[in-house]
Amino acid sequence: MPPVGIVGLGAYVPPKVMTNEDWAELIDTSDDWITTKTGMKERRIAADDVCTSDLAVNACRQALEEAGIGPEDVDLLILATSSPDVPLSSTAGITQHKLGCTNAAAFDVNAVCAGWVHALDIGGRFAGTPGYDNVLVVGAEVYSRILNWEDRTTCVLFGDGAGAAVLQQVDEGRGLLGSWMMSDGAGAGVIEIPAGGVRKPIPSSGFEDGDQYFHMDGRAVWDFATEAFPQAVKAVLERIDYSLEDVSMIIPHQANINIIKTGMEKLGLPMEKTFTNLHKYGNTAGASVPIAMREAIEEGLITEGDLVITVAFGGGLAWGANAFIL
């Protein structure tokens, strides 16, 4: 396999800001409770006429501009989302059309909050091979549209956004070094939307109002994520024969500041070795890792030659990590 790396990175969040105080006016919660439990202060909410594909297009345009290529140069578009525009056709195909990638194949990946790290691994295996000079990997979500805004255990946690990366063949010594992915379908019910598929159509005899929204077992997610995060980091480093001491920065899924702190503690690494922006955007699910990585680069926390680990965990249950040298 040729060396493949990220040559363009883009991120986009909607302009509308929703604060903890705004939520406190709608449901029984408070800024202190949300901040203490999650570390979140604000999140971005897409306008009613904006879809997941629209956020994806904005992030893609930035990534393409940074890479110095146009939409017509893209050979493959892989979009990670668990909040698609429609159940079918694919949101990747809709994004491809809106963006003008007239020469590209496109497909979705649904690994929920671990979607982008999975998509990056898949894209890295295509990029640089015959017919795939430029691969566009996107994570985009509009979770505000799939949440029950009366469920205070979940509605305050999520925000909307998108991140995208252009993958190309790069010089030796740079790029993706390897990935490690894992799933446990026995935990599929821990994070799910119970209705809307063939198991429980809307409407159907088994459908109850509320089943069409996001559901999560918070305690089970905590137990899973605090183990999955350090496991994935250690596993990908072992696969590429590097150690924790070699890592410059870990970019984790922005689910909860306490999950990240616990994961870093289990790794024996200080919080200075990671980057968080969930206080500004909440949990943007499959988009959180590329959004955070873009900001970490903009702030000068990641520079050329650094070994970076991206790690995520979410519904499925699915988790994994990528390792690359910028």
- Catalytic positions are 113, 253, 283
With contact defined as beta carbons under 8 Å apart, do 98 and 299 qualify?
Answer: no
Helix or strand or coil: residue 53?
A: helix
How far apart CA 57 and CA 164 sit, in angstroms, is 9
Give me the residues paired with residue 319 across strands. 182, 313
> What is the chain's alpha carbon radius of gyration, rounded to the nearest angstrom?
19
Q: How far is CA 293 from the centre of its chain?
A: 11
Strand blocks (E) in 185-278: 191-192, 215-216, 249-252
Written as six digits, the tokens of 249 are: 């920065």
With contact defined as beta carbons under 8 Å apart, do 314 and 80 qualify?
Answer: no
How far apart CA 145 and CA 159 sit, in angstroms, is 10
Element at 42 (helix H, strand E): strand 42-44
Name the burial class of residue 199, with classes exposed (0-12), middle (13-18) and buried (19+) by CB atoms within 10 angstroms of its CB: exposed
Q: Can you count the helices (H) and strands (E) in the chain?
A: 9, 13
Written as six digits, the tokens of 62 are: 């930035």
Written as six digits, the tokens of 183 are: 């799933």
Sign for the pseudo-dihedral over CA of 140, 281, 121, 113: negative
